[in-house]
Amino acid sequence: MLDSVTHSTFLPNTSFCDPLMSWTDLFSNEEYYPAFEHQTDADSSCLKTSGIKSQDCHSRTSLQSSHLWEFVRDLLLSPEENCGILEWEDREQGIFRVVKSEALAKMWGQRKKNDRMTYEKLSRALRYYYKTGILERVDRRLVYKFGKNAHGWQEDKL
């Protein structure tokens, strides 16, 4: 069964659209760039590009998902937008890695309107998903795996 949140919005060549003027627009705003001083110019450029791109989008996107795991999933399914913040380790098994932990936390914080969000807090929330089967533990740092209760991440089910 398709996940209504994801599928229509991450088809190839589908422009990213930010629903709440959320993170992409926020990152296109210079006010938010100081938070990314630790990142490379390439990262900032990528984020800024995403924001510009979002302005002419045509459809609502999944990044309005209310749950953290959906937010993470949607970033993974939108490689143009995650700017290398997340990447698949094993796409078929649902194993992924957080490459830029601080950037991910910042995005989530913007999404939740919480500028005190850190990766430490975000990762704590992710670890709670182990209990519910949405995520499975992988014994490697910054590596997670979608569990049996996670949906919408499988390529052949999109």
Partner DNA sequence: GCCACTTTTCCTGCTT
Partner DNA sequence: TAAGCAGGAAAAGTGG
Site string for DNA, 20-59 (x = CB under 7 A): ----------------------------------------
Q: What is the identity of the amino acid at 136?
A: E
The residue among 33 and 130 lying less far from DNA, judged by its C-beta, is 130
Residue 153 contacts DNA per CB under 7 A: no
* Nearest CA-CA partner of 107 in 9, 43, 27: 27
Among 31, 41, 56, 120, binds DNA (CB under 7 A): 120
Binding of residue 133 to DNA (CB under 7 A): no
Please report, for residues 8, 117, 124, 147, the alpha-carbon distance to residue 120 in angstroms, rounded to integers and kept in the order given: 32, 8, 6, 21
Pairing of strands 86-90, 95-98: antiparallel
Candidates 108, 110, 146, 152; binder of DNA (CB under 7 A) is: 108
* Cβ 83 to DNA shortest distance, Å: 17
- CA–CA distance from 41 to each of 45, 68, 83, 115 (Å)? 6, 27, 12, 22
Q: Minimal CA–CA distance to 122: which of 113, 133, 132, 109?
A: 109
Q: Confirm or reject binding of residue 14 to DNA (CB under 7 A).
A: no
Pick the piece of the chain touching DNA (CB under 7 A) from 40-48, 55-63, 86-94, 126-134. Answer: 126-134
Give the binding site for DNA (CB under 7 A).
66-69, 101, 108-109, 112, 114, 116-117, 119-125, 127-130, 132, 137, 141-142
